[in-house]
Each structure stands twice: as C-alpha cells, then as structure tokens.
C-alpha cells in the first residue's frame, strides 16, 4: 500500500508542467553567459574573448588537455585562485561579452 502511494505521488510530480521562464530569468541568464561550472575548453571555444581574461588572471593552461574535463572553478583552484578571485574573473568575462552584444 505504501509503495502504491509513493508511486502515485511520484507520477504526480513527473506530470507537473515545467516552470515558465520569465523575462527576469532570461535577463539573468543573458547576463551570465559564462559560469564557473562550465568547462574551460567549452568557454575558450565558444567565447574566444574570454581567453585573454583567463590569461590575465593566471590561467595560462588554455591549451592543456585537461581543459576538456576541468571546469573554470576546478582549473582556477588548481592554480591557487580563491573563490572570490574566480567570481571576479567570471564576472569580468561576462561584462566583456555583454559589451560585445551591445
């Protein structure tokens, strides 16, 4: 009986409509094209202008094979950057991309 209730509850959750993305959500997403959980290689190929900023912050390993597997945060931490420094670098990359869009 308990299994049947759990199953019914799970199916109700699965049938809920997806959350609608409002203007505010899409604006926030547009402001943050790059996040620290993105792969370094993905960012470098998708946003070449971000590479210069990574170099500026001590990330000189753009050609390294690990860029296909490491996130920006992992790579930066491996190079001794603090969480605050990582956030600052990501914000700077997003500012450059926002200026480019306008």
Q: Report domain extents, the chain.
A: 39-102
Percent of the chain exceeding pLDDT 90 equals 54
Q: What count of other Cβ atoms lies within 10 Å of the Cβ of residue 72?
A: 26
Alpha helices in 15-102 (DSSP H): 23-31, 40-46, 49-56, 72-78, 83-101
- SS3 state of residue 39: strand
- SS3 state of residue 64: coil
pLDDT band of 21, cuts 50, 70, 90: very low
For the residues 57-68, what does the mean pLDDT come to?
87
pLDDT band of 101, cuts 50, 70, 90: confident
Q: Is the CB of residue 93 less than 8 Å from the CB of residue 50?
A: yes
- Please state, in angstroms and rounded to a whole number, the distance separating the CA atoms of residues 75 and 51: 13
pTM, whole model, 2 decimals? 0.67
Q: Is the pLDDT of residue 35 over 80?
A: yes
| Structure-token match 């997003």, residue found | 94
């Amino acid at each position: 009986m308990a299994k049947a209730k759990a199953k019914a509850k799970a199916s109700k959750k699965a049938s809920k409509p997806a959350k609608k993305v409002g203007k505010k959500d899409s604006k926030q997403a547009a402001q943050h094209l790059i996040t620290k959980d993105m792969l370094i290689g993905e960012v470098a190929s998708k946003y070449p202008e971000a590479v210069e900023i990574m170099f500026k912050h001590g990330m000189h390993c753009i050609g390294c094979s690990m860029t296909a597997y490491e996130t920006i945060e992992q790579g930066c931490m491996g190079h001794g950057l603090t969480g605050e420094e990582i956030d600052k670098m990501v914000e700077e990359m997003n500012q450059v991309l926002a200026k480019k869009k306008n």
